Amino acid sequence: MDKIKEKLKKSYFIANKIYLFLIFIFLTIEDFSLGFYYFLISLFIYGWKTLRSKVPIEVSKEFENRTFVYKRTKNRDLKLDLWLPSRTSKKNPLVFFCHGGGWISGFRNQPNNVSWCKFLASKGLAVVSIDYRYGYRNTMEDILSDYTDALNYVRKNHKKLNIDRDNIVLMGLSAGGHLSLLYSTYHTNQKNKKDMKGIKGVVAYYSPTDLNDIFISENKSIFARFATKQTLKGSPVKKEEIYNYYSPIHWISDRMVPCLIAHGKMDTTVPFKSSVKLAKALKKYKIKYTFLVHRKGGHSFDTKFKDIGTVNTLERTVRFIRKAIDI
């Protein structure tokens, strides 16, 4: 029975919430007003869940954050938020945090990201949460340049920001984790010591490590496929070299910094298999890594689940970060 439930949860019908669309069609056929009200109620529920999405460990203390423009582009100013722990010093170890959203959505200060920033700040860590351009009108290279520019801005202004530029851990959720892994695997592979200066580790939650995995038969997510095609400007069949180039797993070397990987086995957006492959590659090159698996969790399990497994994952993530920066 459990296996049947798992297959059903990962099915095309459930993964893409087709059942909600069918209900909408049925109600609209029966009565247009019913369909319209169903749409409004569904929109309200989705918005409510999004606004209430946060990590399961409550942080009672309020942390002030400051916003800085780190880069000006033709169409928008790119910003980052700085969250400092209550006991600040001139040199606060930093978690450089990058949001998810398939490279085509999401923003630095949406509720789930803010909850992560507050949680990490409550553990004595400074956090910088960044925005970046989306893959609709921009390329993966543009997004990576934003990521790099934000990191360099923090390094350059470390005194003003009270940041220890020699103690940085890169962290990201989903697409943000992909960017963190890609930055670190590429620059360690290429022996770019300047780009990796001060970076002591990487934390990646449910992140694609081989972009070709988004298109395997087991993965049913229309959103994931659309977002990846949109950002890389084509399918893996037509853009094989591009997909391999922007896949972190193809840059793994024995110079890679320690990694923490977290993934839910029931993920229907980014295949769990992608993190398994990364763990095997890290093991092959004898890189220190921690692989945290939530057996019942799906994508974004860290802010959707409140069970002991999720809480334990968060606490172990903090321990990994503190060990990486030696505090």
> For 262-288, what is each residue's pLDDT tens digit?
999 999 999 999 999 999 999 999 999
**How far is residue 199 from each of residues 115, 270, 283, 324, measured CA to CA in Å?**
23, 26, 20, 9
CATH of 61-324, one of 3.40.50.300, 3.40.50.1820, 3.40.50.800, 3.30.70.260: 3.40.50.1820
Q: Is the pLDDT of residue 117 over 80?
A: yes
Answer for the pair 72, 55: CB distance below 8 angstroms, yes or no.
Answer: no
Per-residue pLDDT at 113 exceeds 60: yes
Mean pLDDT across the stretch 122-129? 96
pLDDT class of 310 with cuts at 50, 70, 90 = very high
- Nearest to residue 255, comparing CAs of 323, 321, 193, 208? 193
The DSSP output letter for 257 is P
Among 44-58, 81-95, 259-273, the minimum mean pLDDT is found in: 44-58
For the chain, the average pLDDT equals 89
| Residue 131 burial (C-beta neighbours within 10 Å; 0-12, 13-18, 19+) | buried
Average pLDDT, integer, range 156-160: 95
**pLDDT tier at 24 (50, 70, 90 boundaries)?**
very low
Q: Is the pLDDT of residue 41 over 80?
A: no
Which residue has 């320690």 as its token pair?
Answer: 258
* pLDDT > 70: percent of the chain: 84
Greater pLDDT, 58 or 239: 239
Pairing of strands 126-130, 259-264: unpaired
Average pLDDT over residues 34-62: 68
pLDDT score of 268 = 92
pTM assigned to the model: 0.91
Average pLDDT over residues 39-58: 69
Q: Where in the chain is the domain with CATH 3.40.50.1820?
A: 61-324
* Beta-carbon count within 10 A of 97 CB: 25
Phi/psi of residue 255, each to 5°? -100, 0
User: Which of 79, 110, 81, 77 has the alpha carbon at shortest distance from 95?
Assistant: 81
Helices and strands of the chain, counted as H and E runs: 14, 8
